[in-house]
């Protein structure tokens, strides 16, 4: 591949939802932008592929052909206390997709808006050289005035730009399983969440077009114990393999990096910044949101790095960081205090789950629920000393 010699306004590294949305918004704003990914589309991405309504609401994009299932029904089970709650809505609580197809659609939208997309193009390092960033890639150098690190939880771009490792990472496992037709039918219409297995985490079943995504995530486990937890869960569900099964594992950042999120001419977005909801480990909507905020900051700051950085930090404080801080406290309550969790779900389980759906859908925020009078979230927050 021959790399373009021009100096772009912005180079975005990583074409997941954060990077693709950022590139699209920049191109729409008239900014010259190059988006690179180490893998060609449509590459496999380890993910449950569960899209909440908040994520869909942030994307003004038709997703025809990339949606696997629209689950109007979700179920929350507390395995350790044998409680079960059903949620039904007239619009999907969770929409499922395969990330290869979903991310490819987002990249196409960025290209349609005018972004230049290069793949496979692997970032190896970067340097700031007199008013621009030079990206070292396996294909040669690329120059841009700014760089957006959208290359996921293990972001090489962030490391190359001097950020330390994000220490708030937890392991997650996911299995794409083809099951017997009768088993598939049992799970085909419902997004299922099981709390209490693993002990300080949860497990899920998301139906795809013709198979199931089954996975688990845990705040306190190493990989080998998590593997045992996944087998226990699959047995608990009574699933019999019927064809292929592919297991994948990766990490999820459950807290933003502690340092600033823009430095010099580099901005961090999505998992690279550590933006996932620590309660649900849902990261796609935060990736989309932060990609859009970084684009807005770059357009607002234009050629002035100090202005761009302060615009980005301001936008994150206005739209994202306070909510993730509150979510972090709620996650501790949910996963680290099982007796309080059981008490709260025994008393108010159905209402708590319904309120969670409102947060999922973007109609409410954790912060708003903890503040607003007469709701069960607020009461639980009070008992746990969060308000």
What letters, b where the CB count within 10 A reaches 16 and e where it falls short, cover 77-114?
Answer: bbbebebebebeeeebbbbbbbbbbbbbbbbebbbeeb
CB of 351 to ligand FAD, least distance (A): 24
Determine the Cα–Cα distance for residues 172 and 319; give it in Å rounded to an integer: 27
Residue 266 engages ligand FAD in binding (rule: CB under 6 A): no
CB of 89 to ligand FAD, least distance (A): 18
Determine the Cα–Cα distance for residues 320 and 373; give it in Å rounded to an integer: 23
Residue 255 engages ligand FAD in binding (rule: CB under 6 A): no
Residue 278 engages ligand FAD in binding (rule: CB under 6 A): no
Cβ nearer to ligand FAD, comparing 295 with 380 = 295
Residue 159 engages ligand FAD in binding (rule: CB under 6 A): no
Residue from 92, 152, 198, 381 that binds ligand FAD (CB under 6 A)?
Answer: 152
Residue 270 engages ligand FAD in binding (rule: CB under 6 A): yes
DSSP 264: T
As given in the structure block, the two tokens for residue 248 are 């994948």
Residue 311 engages ligand FAD in binding (rule: CB under 6 A): no
Cβ nearer to ligand FAD, comparing 13 with 261 = 13
Residue 327 engages ligand FAD in binding (rule: CB under 6 A): no
Determine the Cα–Cα distance for residues 23 and 177; give it in Å rounded to an integer: 34
Residue 194 engages ligand FAD in binding (rule: CB under 6 A): no
H/E stretch holding 245: strand 241-253
CB neighbours of 82 closer than 8 A, spacing ≥ 6? Answer: none
CB of 40 to ligand FAD, least distance (A): 10
Residue 301 engages ligand FAD in binding (rule: CB under 6 A): no
Cβ nearer to ligand FAD, comparing 284 with 352 = 284
DSSP letters along 93-142, please?
SEEEE-HHHHHHHHHHHHHHHT-EEE-S--EEEEEEETTEEEEEETTEEE
Residue 172 engages ligand FAD in binding (rule: CB under 6 A): yes
Residue 379 engages ligand FAD in binding (rule: CB under 6 A): no
CB of 368 to ligand FAD, least distance (A): 21
> Is 3 within 8 Å of 141 (Cβ atoms)?
yes
Q: Which window, 10-18, 310-318, 356-364, 365-373, contacts ligand FAD (CB under 6 A)?
A: 10-18
Cβ nearer to ligand FAD, comparing 142 with 380 = 142
Cβ nearer to ligand FAD, comparing 156 with 211 = 156
List Cα–Cα distances, 117 to 15, 29, 34, 37, 286, in angstroms.
9, 17, 6, 8, 22
Cα 314 versus chain centre, distance: 21
Give the binding site for ligand FAD (CB under 6 A): 13-19, 36-39, 45-50, 122-123, 150-152, 156, 172, 174, 215, 250, 252, 270-272, 276, 281-284, 287
């Amino acid at each position: 591949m021959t790399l373009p010699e021009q100096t772009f306004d912005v180079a975005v590294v990583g074409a997941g939802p954060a990077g693709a949305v950022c590139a699209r918004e920049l191109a729409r704003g008239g900014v010259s932008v190059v988006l690179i990914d180490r893998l060609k589309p449509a590459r496999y991405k380890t993910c449950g592929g569960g899209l909440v309504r908040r994520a869909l609401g942030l994307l003004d994009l038709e997703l025809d052909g990339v949606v696997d299932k629209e689950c109007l029904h979700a179920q929350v089970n507390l395995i350790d206390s044998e409680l079960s709650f059903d949620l039904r809505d007239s619009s999907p609580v969770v929409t499922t997709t395969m990330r290869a197809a979903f991310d490819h659609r987002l990249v196409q939208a960025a290209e349609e808006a005018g972004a230049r997309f290069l793949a496979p193009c692997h970032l190896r390092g970067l340097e700031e050289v007199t008013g621009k960033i030079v990206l070292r890639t396996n294909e040669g150098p690329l120059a841009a005035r700014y760089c957006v690190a959208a290359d996921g939880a293990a972001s090489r771009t962030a490391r190359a730009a001097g950020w330390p490792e994000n220490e708030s990472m937890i392991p997650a496992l996911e299995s794409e399983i083809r099951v017997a037709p009768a088993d598939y039918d049992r799970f085909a219409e419902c997004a299922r969440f099981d709390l209490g297995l693993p002990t300080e985490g949860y497990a899920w079943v998301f139906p795809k077009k013709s198979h199931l995504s089954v996975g688990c995530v845990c705040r306190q486990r190493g990989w080998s114990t998590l593997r045992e937890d996944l087998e226990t869960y699959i047995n608990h569900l009574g699933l019999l393999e019927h064809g292929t099964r592919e297991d994948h594992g990766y990490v999820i950042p459950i807290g933003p990096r502690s340092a600033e999120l823009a430095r010099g001419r580099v901005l961090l977005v999505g998992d690279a910044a550590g933006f996932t909801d620590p309660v649900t480990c849902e990261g796609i909507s935060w990736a989309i949101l932060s990609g859009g905020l970084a684009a807005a900051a770059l357009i607002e700051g234009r050629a002035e790095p100090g202005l761009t950085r302060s615009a980005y930090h301001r936008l994150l404080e206005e739209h994202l960081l306070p909510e993730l801080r509150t979510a972090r406290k709620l996650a501790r309550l949910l996963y680290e205090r099982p007796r309080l969790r059981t008490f709260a779900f025994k008393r108010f389980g159905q209402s708590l789950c319904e309120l969670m759906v409102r947060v999922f859908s973007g109609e409410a925020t954790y912060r708003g629920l903890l503040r607003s009078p007469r709701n069960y979230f607020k009461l639980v927050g009070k008992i746990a000393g969060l308000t």
